[in-house]
């Protein structure tokens, strides 16, 4: 289970919005409101042809892996997203969105987007933890990325998920969070794409700051 966001640019001179992909599997309202609190313009993207005035995309997602991939297939977003990423353009995934970045999931049979190497597995049963993993947990930074502040401060974020991504490339892992005696992938980052397993839009000031850092990075790198 998870959520995600996506963005795209055609002409850097006229793009200013962040595109929020609507494929029927995301809580668009709360994500949209989170960006509006940052005073950042957003646009709902219902079809790939809607991206004429956006510079970055967010792929939000709530629910299960197979239905999400099937909906992306129906709306022709799969080749669009792959082309977008191959062109080096920024994409942010949230919750299920992060899981869709990977090659496959134990939650279903559909292939994932394959933007990152690795697979999604069911959370291990822990005597001290319930599944789904629901609630607040502290982030543990693994490597620096535009979403993180590179400080010793402990930042708590809000999770709701039963599956966790296992990146094959260790350098794609940016942050983890504890789950019982083990840990789960919390943030991944590679090139111009990144994703959060947790919900930044529901993670109070920490989530607000994470989204603000992403917006700041987009602006300082002239993506929007």
> Is 196 known to be catalytic?
no
Backbone angles phi, psi at 122, to 5 degrees: -65, 140
Contacts of 82 (CB under 8 A, 6+ apart): 113, 114, 115
* Catalytic option among 107, 145, 196, 201: 201
- CA–CA gap between residue 156 and residue 204 (Å, rounded): 9
Whether residue 119 lies in the annotated active site: no
Give me the helices (H) in the chain, please: 28-37, 65-74, 77-86, 96-100, 204-220
* 201 is an active site residue: yes
Q: How many CB atoms lie within 10 A of CB 30?
A: 14
The residue from 95, 133, 161, 196 that is catalytic is 95
Q: Which of 119, 129, 199, 208 is catalytic?
A: 199
Which class for 61: exposed (0-12), middle (13-18), buried (19 or more C-beta within 10 A)? Answer: buried
Residues serving a catalytic function are 95, 199, 201
């Amino acid at each position: 289970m998870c959520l995600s966001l996506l963005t795209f640019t055609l002409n850097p001179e006229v793009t200013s919005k962040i595109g929020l992909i609507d494929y029927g599997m995301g809580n668009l309202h709360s994500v949209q409101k989170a960006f509006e609190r940052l005073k950042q313009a957003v646009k709902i993207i219902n079809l790939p042809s809607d991206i004429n005035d956006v510079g970055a995309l967010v792929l939000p997602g709530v629910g299960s892996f197979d239905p999400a991939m099937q909906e992306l297939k129906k709306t022709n977003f799969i080749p669009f997203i792959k082309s977008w990423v191959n062109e080096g353009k920024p994409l942010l995934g949230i919750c299920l969105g992060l899981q869709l970045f990977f090659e496959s999931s134990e939650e279903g049979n559909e292939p994932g987007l394959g933007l990152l190497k690795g697979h999604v597995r069911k959370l291990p049963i822990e005597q001290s933890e319930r599944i789904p993993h629901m609630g607040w947990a502290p982030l543990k930074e693994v490597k620096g990325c535009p979403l993180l502040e590179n400080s010793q401060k402990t930042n708590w974020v809000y999770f709701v998920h039963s599956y966790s991504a296992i990146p094959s490339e260790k350098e794609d892992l940016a942050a983890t969070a504890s789950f019982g005696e083990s840990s789960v992938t919390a943030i991944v980052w590679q090139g111009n794409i990144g994703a959060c397993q947790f919900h930044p839009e529901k993670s109070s000031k920490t989530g607000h700051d994470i989204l603000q850092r992403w917006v700041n990075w987009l602006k300082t790198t002239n993506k929007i």
